[in-house]
Structure 1
Amino acid sequence: MFDEPGVRAGVCEKLARGDEAMMFLGIDVGTTNCKAGYFGGSGRLESWASSPTATFRTEDGLSYYDPEQLWRTVAATVRQAREACPERGAVLSVGITSMAEAGLLVDRSSGEARSHVIPWFDPRSVPQCEALMKRWDAAERFRTTGLRASYKYGLFKLLWLKEQDPSALENAVWLSVADYIAYRFTGAPVTDYTLAARTFCFDIARKSWDGEAMSALGLPRGLFPEALPSFAASRPIRGGSFADLGIPDGTPVYVTGHDHLNAAFAVGATRKGTLFNSMGTAETLIGVLEEKPLGQAEYDSGLAYGIHVAKDKYFWLGGLPASGGSVEWIRRLIHPEPLPYEELEALVRQAGRMPTGLLYVPYLSGSGAPQPDPHSSGSIVGLRLHHERAHMLKAVLEGIAYEMESIRRAAAKANAKGLEGEGEIIAIGGGTRNREWMNIKANVSRSRIVLPRMPEAAMAGAAALAATGFGYFRDETEAGTAFGGGQADTIVPDEELQRQYKAVYENKYLVYQELYRTYQALTKDVSAGGG
């Protein structure tokens, strides 16, 4: 840490001269790819590399990551980025972000993995989740953790491991993926609040592990690592093993936490009233709020809550499991060969400027907030003979936008006035390349859609958070200014289209939501009958 004013002044002097000899390393361990990037003192990305995250399956069909393979992939990716870096300055700090709920057991004495890495998406722990929630009060648990129960969370993975081998948890520590990679660098277990809060065993108000729940479940003390803020969750490298990467002994390695929150930090989506929208196969909407007790209104919203990487802040999160997944689905259906994205966008324009009037329900992989239900299914409502593939494609984009608007309205009702419209949404991800989709999103939400110039926001956020924790930047505002990368484009809503989409949303979409329970009962009955 740069605790001494003289050291801080020296760093500021180098920054003022534009000295790029100092570097910051950001690592993002994702579901699909591992990425590493070297950033200069001004926040400029000097080089980066990406490698696939190899997923394996057991003989009985369980998905997993091999811990040693994962570590080798990260190390090789860091090395590739280093070799491509034109500036070979020493690394001052390392920041590591990752997928949130994946994790493994590590032996505290030997440092060896006790289990493979269980991915967030592997459903093996569904029985443990369902059994426990028959005993626990869901609303009370939400007030402690900010979460609704899901097999994804670490607690249920641990209960699964315990059932396989009761001794597996003895003298072991549960590490999320970012924790594990940091552990391989430093040999010391530590996590940050954002990852701890995704275990379903962390009290977010007290910022501590829930010892009462652990005792009730027979989980040993010491099962979880020390949890600290993202700016402080660091340990130093020892042993000289990484000198070839420009990382000297003593370099602090930070667990910067949940990848979505790191990305939000990097693009400046930590201001009140500004929302962060990550658009991939799944889509998430995240907002910032002041720390506060969680109650019935927050529970009824269907949203998830947790501790933000931004200092003294909470976040709310709502998501749609099949956003980009819906686009890929319709893309395959409307043409024998999947249409190139340029042609796809041109096809949307053929449907005209105005709303289609169709209602696509985007629950191909279940629904999220405000009515979470993993068993829900999708549909297209309102089809007539005159509708063509252009209308169906545009309807899919509209339906996704309506769903994300329902998440935003749920958040506004539960948490904060001023999210009803005419705000700002900072969006990243593959979907942002579709201008027609962004226009629809802007008009449905009545918000400016800001598209930042930052291809790898989570990785940049990890580097920025580590640089801030190290003391290179005075605060998160200064870090955001350096790493933010500027604004690439802004989509402004159209006044007439706003009115048209508002009418469709309120007269059709909200009516559908009122009929949701009946609709779901019908589809389940059809499925049960073999339809």
Structure 2
Amino acid sequence: MSLLLGLDVGTTSIKAVVYRPDGIAVASAAAPTPTHVPRPRWAFYRAEELWATVVDVIRRALVDVPDPSQVVSVSVASVAEAGVLLDAQGEATVDVIAWYDTRTKPQADWLGEHVGADVLFASTGLSLQPIFSLCKMLWYREHEPEAWRRSVHWLLIDEFVAFKLSGERGSEPSQASRTMLMNLHDLKWDQEILEKVAIDERMLPPLVASGTRLGPVSARAAAETGLPQTAQVATGGHDHVCGAFAAGVTRPGQMLNSLGTAEAVFLPTSAPLTDPKAGHQGYTQGAHVAGGGYYVFGGQYTSGACIDWVRRVLGDGTDPLAYDATIAAAGRVPPGSNGVLFLPHLRMANPPYVDSRSRGAFVGLTVETGREEMARAVLEGIAFETVSTYEPLAEYPQVTMPASAVAIGGGTRNKLLMQIKSSLSGLPYHILEAQEATALGAALLGGVGAGVFANSDEAIAAMRYGQSQVLPVPEDAVIYERIKREIYQQVYPALAPLSQEISDLQNSLIDADGE
């Protein structure tokens, strides 16, 4: 029997999962993503540590595979935006700026002044935000000139792992969509933008379709990982897009809610949005890994991260409050958290706002407020933010609003959060019961590349995973609709000026401390 290996290089963990062609997992392993945080709002990876972790999880997953020679394909899904600069020998020249690191805001501001936010949106479909690859490349050029001078290749993280596995470079549209260097309309590297920012196209890998065979596992990678050299390495894609693919969310009228450390709200479209307003609202879009389609993408920079944060806040000062205890505490409070609201902007604002200086906040605290209200308010804040992210898209003709949502990711195991999301949105939530949907999406693309499936439609049709369903509670929905309309929608606009002043103060204190 043929087996498919999917890799998921995520924000907090790196996973290797081996699947049968019907989507049933037979072996898996995971390890924390090695991340360095030298100062607030900075984070980076080291390429050699990422690769060592990938090798580790592959080897451990294969321990549970009786015959590893049955693995016929390997493909990688990963976080987007973060890229590895390589020299002519294929060695990293500098640390890898994490996707969510916002040190690159000055470079984003420079792009706005010298290229123009609307010009960039019209070509790439991306709103001007500091997280995108182009901003990182400009930062390296300014602050790491020697490393930049020695670099000849830029590879996103999934492309870097595929390169280490096969020795071949290749990019596909779902990841290239997040660079701010690909024209979304013709799916080619944008020559006008490259010329304006003086970046040589030869640094970028060739653009090919998702699920394209790059080549077999190299002898060196086989020796390191235990994979057979007969296994074919294929292009994968952006983690959230691969998850949508595995969930079958490929057509307009569907919506994926992918819940992890961050959260994605993902709606397939038949054509890119062209109204610049969507860019000003912070929405991004890109090409789907399912050939020929597009998507519009919102979400939250901190979703699961907010839950981890409140666990630390509610802990005993040494250890965070246990996850189950946090959710149990939240469950003891009625909908509305007794009037306490939480704005989940622990890194920055989320669409439809573009504001890297926004800050999180609890609103409505009183002397009666306890950990139960705070815990539930965080869950409700995440859910309010989800709805606030996708509802404004209704005005765009390319977007068909969903009648239900499909949810994937670790956050789906939080049954209370899923119930709150369903009641607050008024949508049935279908919880995908596939093991590690993002890795599964990558594995299916690998199967396409290896010829196990003729195309992406055939791959999805072969899946045999189940789904559970969460339905809105009508009386809760009434409460949430009132809070959303009368209070929550006013919280960010009211706090934004003060949050921006606080952000400036924080930055000045951090800069002074670093001197």
With structure 2 as the length reference, what TM-score do the two structures score?
0.88
Could you tell me how far apart the structure 2 residues matched to 1:97 and 1:350 are?
38
Could you tell me how far apart the structure 2 residues matched to 1:331 and 1:456 are?
24
Q: 1:245-394 residue pairs with structure 2 within 5 A?
A: 245-249=226-230, 251-292=231-272, 294-336=274-316, 338-353=320-335, 356-394=338-376
**1:82 and 2:68 are equivalent in the alignment:** no
Q: Matched residues, percent identical?
A: 31
Gaps of 5+ in 1: 1-20
Residue 488 of structure 2 corresponds to 509
**1:137 and 2:116 are equivalent in the alignment:** yes
Could you tell me how far apart the structure 2 residues matched to 1:513 and 1:441 are?
20
Could you tell me how far apart the structure 1 residues matched to 2:345 and 2:35 are?
25
How far apart are 1:114 and its partner, in Å? 3.2
How far apart are 1:415 and its partner, in Å? 5.0
- 8 Å CA contact 2:11, 2:33 repeated in 1: yes
- 8 Å CA contact 1:190, 1:233 repeated in 2: no
| Change beyond 3 A, Cα 1:308–1:338 | same
* Higher deviation after alignment, 341-350 or 164-173: 164-173
- 8 Å CA contact 2:252, 2:399 repeated in 1: no
- 8 Å CA contact 1:301, 1:411 repeated in 2: no
Residue 155 of structure 2 corresponds to 175
How far apart are 1:382 and its partner, in Å? 3.1
Amino acid of the residue matched to residue 455 of structure 1?
Answer: Q
Could you tell me how far apart the structure 1 residues matched to 2:101 and 2:333 are?
39
Amino acid of the residue matched to residue 182 of structure 2?
Answer: F
- 8 Å CA contact 1:169, 1:223 repeated in 2: no
Equivalent pairs counted in the alignment come to: 505
Could you tell me how far apart the structure 2 residues matched to 1:368 and 1:134 are?
23
| Change beyond 3 A, Cα 1:335–1:40 | closer
- 8 Å CA contact 1:46, 1:87 repeated in 2: no
Identify the match of residue 223 of structure 1 among 191, 194, 203. Answer: 203
1:430-460 alpha-carbon deviations (Å, 9 max, x no partner)? 3322222221111110011122212311111
1:173-226 alpha-carbon deviations (Å, 9 max, x no partner)? 111111111112222211111111211111111211112222222222411110
Residue 513 of structure 2 corresponds to none
Higher-Rg structure is: 1
- 8 Å CA contact 2:221, 2:227 repeated in 1: no
- 8 Å CA contact 1:297, 1:414 repeated in 2: no
Could you tell me how far apart the structure 2 residues matched to 1:59 and 1:378 are?
19
Residue 6 of structure 1 corresponds to none
Residue 394 of structure 2 corresponds to 412
1:456-501 alpha-carbon deviations (Å, 9 max, x no partner)? 11111110111123332244343224346211x2110012222221
Identify the match of residue 127 of structure 1 among 85, 106, 112. Answer: 106
| Change beyond 3 A, Cα 1:404–1:60 | closer
1:89-127 alpha-carbon deviations (Å, 9 max, x no partner)? 43222111111112122234x333333433223444333
How far apart are 1:241 and its partner, in Å? 5.6
- 8 Å CA contact 1:178, 1:257 repeated in 2: yes
Amino acid of the residue matched to residue 111 of structure 2?
Answer: L
| Change beyond 3 A, Cα 1:57–1:508 | closer
| Change beyond 3 A, Cα 1:383–1:242 | closer
**1:499 and 2:478 are equivalent in the alignment:** yes
Q: 1:426-445 residue pairs with structure 2 within 5 A?
A: 426-445=406-425
Could you tell me how far apart the structure 2 residues matched to 1:439 and 1:456 are?
21
How far apart are 1:405 and its partner, in Å? 0.5
How far apart are 1:524 and its partner, in Å? 6.1
Could you tell me how far apart the structure 2 residues matched to 1:56 and 1:443 are?
38
Could you tell me how far apart the structure 1 residues matched to 2:214 and 2:368 are?
61
Identify the match of residue 450 of structure 1 among 430, 433, 455. Answer: 430
Amino acid of the residue matched to residue 362 of structure 1?
Answer: P
| Change beyond 3 A, Cα 1:449–1:166 | same
Could you tell me how far apart the structure 2 residues matched to 1:401 and 1:440 are?
7
- 8 Å CA contact 1:321, 1:365 repeated in 2: yes
| Change beyond 3 A, Cα 1:486–1:228 | same
Secondary structure of the corresponding residue to residue 111 of structure 1: coil
Secondary structure of the corresponding residue to residue 22 of structure 2: coil
Residue 149 of structure 1 corresponds to 128
With structure 1 as the length reference, what TM-score do the two structures score?
0.86
Residue 7 of structure 2 corresponds to 27
Gaps of 5+ in 2: 510-515
| Change beyond 3 A, Cα 1:527–1:107 | closer
Secondary structure of the corresponding residue to residue 504 of structure 1: helix
